[in-house]
Structure 1
């Protein structure tokens, strides 16, 4: 089946969603299922085969760029016609932004099966960035308008006093209600919804019946490196032979728990003075990070290397240099870096019990208290007990090896087939959205080719 993938994040930005999509597209192509990927255009973005780049503008958050088609709905017509000319057989939406919404609209207009992957704990992110409720409600109105459907109710205003007495932030409740309405617009009509781990289902309630939800962990391939590349990495970043490296890979942002990690590192240095913390990943809040490093003092900060976003080869060398991976995030739903580290034989320390139990390593990691002292103690145990660290790393490698890109693609193909059957069963029923306008003929042609 030829899929068309829609994502609001793509290279040169690097994150778990980008890694997951690129892994899936390559693995599907290897199985004989080529596809098209629709992305926001970004300065410096290299051209790729089967990549459709849409005009996009910076939104001021985490280097994301948003397609302005929402404000000029007529521009979608030409884009959808161009997509239809590639004869797609299934639409796969990976993100909830404007490009993701365009994917939902494309599926409706072309009468194609719609698959969504819920990659991100959106509720945690809108809380971490304190996204204004007005902006979220505006998105609900605009999304409903572009889809041509009634606007879902956002929910009643929470009683401020009652919410505060129950220990809940009224502003957070309003944000979550608006996000739930957005999820209903995006996911409610999907023929299948993929979640990468049980962590998603434990944290939120998706507006989708259980028989349309599929648990499919992302497959990860090992990042190859050599002793020479590892040695060069250590030398380039001033890591001495005696240093014991605690590695963090991911966005160096507050929602990733970096403040918890830095404070835990300060606490453990007394027990392991040769420890060195290496932070690999994009930095979007430079002032916040600088203040965090100042807060722990110059002596501790001197043992912390912040090296920014790096190409895959450098990240592989970083895993090769590490004794332990520190994963302080409480907002991740899959954490591909846990699998990457495991495949390199590096044990991990988490603070998220849900991801620890239900993530791809299935408990093959150390789960610490989400406090600076608790996290520090867990990291220190692995740094000072190499034999225990090695055993845990070997167990993690075995668990991670179960989730290959090939298995990932095979499982997604099964989801596509399920979605196609469901779409075919519902196609002629009253109330089911049908292909509209000039797209009906193109959609019919696509179904004939199937």
Structure 2
């Protein structure tokens, strides 16, 4: 079986989407299938590049201002369609709603190939933080209307989207079109399933979380104090709610001045946040090892007492699964990200305010002083996260591919 993966975000920065897609590539290749990756031209981690069963089609790309990604510029799309037609995949899998994602939709329609769409990223929420993204995505709508004589996204769709969706109607209307046209939509959490069905009520949507396995643990990588260690790992950016975490930690230290905050990520990338962190580290116990390869993260999770997650824009948050597999209790603010959190047992949800977030973290610190509670929380965290392994989720996804490939088209 040959599967074409259409991916808008394939570097240079490493993120949850890239981890999930490259993991899926590896699973397919290990089982003897062929993979075609269609992505913007960019540098970044590419562990399967030399595999003879893998083909890569890179398209001209441009940087998105203030974002660590490149997106396809729109050039070379027709040429790519012709190339794909000569070497047809059995299934097209689109990972997202950017230029490459819409190209995957167009290719599936033109070539009559089964289409699976996975919703990885909450574009509507991200657009609030990255206004530079919207002109690029709106340009995609116009581009494909011209290229396909409005076949992909007709004028009627635009009018209907404006009536129902208001601001950003062209973007959300295009997302609705993609979800509706897909033979199957997968989403990594119930939260995202609900979002997809709100936007496209007639779409066929299935919840399929990305699989995560426990990370290896080595020696303790950095020195730390004796106080409770709160950990955050991941991208450090405004849309991740990082200011909320910093505000809450300052409140926590008013009650527990021995508390420590371990930030594993590139904290220097955003100048405004970097200045805030630099000021804070002069007064508080901040541990800042920087961004680390995923294979090294297990040793950092092993240091921590609890994991704090302030984001409200994630669709699954692989770091929550990593933290849970490490036996950590979790404090989060997005109550819809509940796959690995059972409130009162191995974690809690706070309101998205510094006072609420800090209060819940402090309660968790108090609970951790009870060894029996700590052990029960660790056991439950591992039980919940252990439901979705890399192998189990790969087998389920490949089963969906086979079902779609065998389904008559036209």
Deviation string 1:291-319 (CA, Å, 9 cap, x unpaired) is: 4337768413xx22344322113322211
* TM-score when normalising by structure 1: 0.80
Q: CA deviation at 1:323?
A: 1.0
Q: Secondary structure of the residue that 2:222 maps to in structure 1? A: helix
**Is the Cα–Cα contact under 8 Å of residues 4 and 92 in structure 1 kept in the other structure?**
yes
Q: What are the equivalent positions in structure 2 for 1:144-159 lying under 5 Å apart?
A: 144-148=145-149, 149=151, 150-151=154-155, 152-154=157-159
Aligned partner of 1:444 in structure 2 is none
Aligned partner of 1:139 in structure 2 is 140
Q: Is it true that 1:397 corresponds to 2:397 in the alignment? A: no
Q: Summarize the Cα distance change of 1:2–1:360 in structure 2 as closer, same or farther, 3 Å threshold.
A: farther
**Is the Cα–Cα contact under 8 Å of residues 229 and 304 in structure 2 kept in the other structure?**
yes
What is the rounded CA distance, in whole Å, between the counterparts of 2:302 and 2:159 in structure 1? Answer: 48
Q: What are the equivalent positions in structure 2 for 1:252-263 lying under 5 Å apart?
A: 252-263=236-247
Q: Secondary structure of the residue that 2:68 maps to in structure 1? A: coil
**Is the Cα–Cα contact under 8 Å of residues 241 and 312 in structure 2 kept in the other structure?**
yes
**Is the Cα–Cα contact under 8 Å of residues 253 and 284 in structure 1 kept in the other structure?**
no
Q: Secondary structure of the residue that 1:193 maps to in structure 2? A: strand
What is the rounded CA distance, in whole Å, between the counterparts of 1:320 and 1:125 in structure 2? Answer: 31
**Is the Cα–Cα contact under 8 Å of residues 93 and 115 in structure 1 kept in the other structure?**
yes
Aligned partner of 2:222 in structure 1 is 234
Deviation string 1:211-250 (CA, Å, 9 cap, x unpaired) is: x211111111111112x2xx2x213xxx23x143211112
Match of 2:60 among 50, 55, 66: 55
Q: CA deviation at 1:117?
A: 0.0
Match of 2:283 among 289, 294, 299: 299
Aligned partner of 1:64 in structure 2 is 69
Q: Summarize the Cα distance change of 1:173–1:310 in structure 2 as closer, same or farther, 3 Å threshold.
A: farther
RMSD: 2.7
Q: Secondary structure of the residue that 1:60 maps to in structure 2? A: coil
Q: CA deviation at 1:10?
A: 2.0
Q: What are the equivalent positions in structure 2 for 1:287-326 lying under 5 Å apart?
A: 287-293=271-277, 298-300=282-284, 303-326=285-308
Aligned partner of 1:441 in structure 2 is none
Q: What are the equivalent positions in structure 2 for 1:61-100 lying under 5 Å apart?
A: 61-68=66-73, 70=74, 72=75, 75-100=76-101
Deviation string 1:323-357 (CA, Å, 9 cap, x unpaired) is: 1111111111111111111111112111111112x
In structure 2, runs of 5+ residues without a counterpart are none
Q: CA deviation at 1:7?
A: 0.7
**Is the Cα–Cα contact under 8 Å of residues 241 and 311 in structure 2 kept in the other structure?**
yes
Q: What are the equivalent positions in structure 2 for 1:335-414 lying under 5 Å apart?
A: 335-356=317-338, 359-361=339-341, 364-386=346-368, 387=371, 388-414=373-399
Larger CA deviation: 317-326 vs 85-94:
85-94
Q: Summarize the Cα distance change of 1:362–1:105 in structure 2 as closer, same or farther, 3 Å threshold.
A: farther
Q: Is it true that 1:39 corresponds to 2:39 in the alignment? A: yes
Aligned partner of 1:19 in structure 2 is 19
Q: Secondary structure of the residue that 1:332 maps to in structure 2? A: coil
Q: CA deviation at 1:86?
A: 4.4
Q: Secondary structure of the residue that 2:167 maps to in structure 1? A: helix
What is the rounded CA distance, in whole Å, between the counterparts of 1:139 and 1:80 in structure 2? Answer: 16
Equivalent residue pairs, number = 395
**Is the Cα–Cα contact under 8 Å of residues 214 and 415 in structure 1 kept in the other structure?**
no
**Rg larger for:** 1
Larger CA deviation: 259-268 vs 130-139:
130-139
* TM-score when normalising by structure 2: 0.87
Q: Summarize the Cα distance change of 1:6–1:319 in structure 2 as closer, same or farther, 3 Å threshold.
A: same
What is the rounded CA distance, in whole Å, between the counterparts of 2:280 and 2:64 in structure 1? Answer: 32
Aligned partner of 1:438 in structure 2 is none
Aligned partner of 1:209 in structure 2 is 202
What is the rounded CA distance, in whole Å, between the counterparts of 1:382 and 1:132 in structure 2? Answer: 38
Q: CA deviation at 1:3?
A: 0.9
What is the rounded CA distance, in whole Å, between the counterparts of 1:366 and 1:89 in structure 2? Answer: 44
What is the rounded CA distance, in whole Å, between the counterparts of 2:277 and 2:121 in structure 1? Answer: 28
**Is the Cα–Cα contact under 8 Å of residues 133 and 178 in structure 1 kept in the other structure?**
no
Q: Secondary structure of the residue that 1:304 maps to in structure 2? A: strand
**Is the Cα–Cα contact under 8 Å of residues 230 and 305 in structure 2 kept in the other structure?**
yes
What is the rounded CA distance, in whole Å, between the counterparts of 2:4 and 2:322 in structure 1? Answer: 27
What is the rounded CA distance, in whole Å, between the counterparts of 1:326 and 1:154 in structure 2? Answer: 42
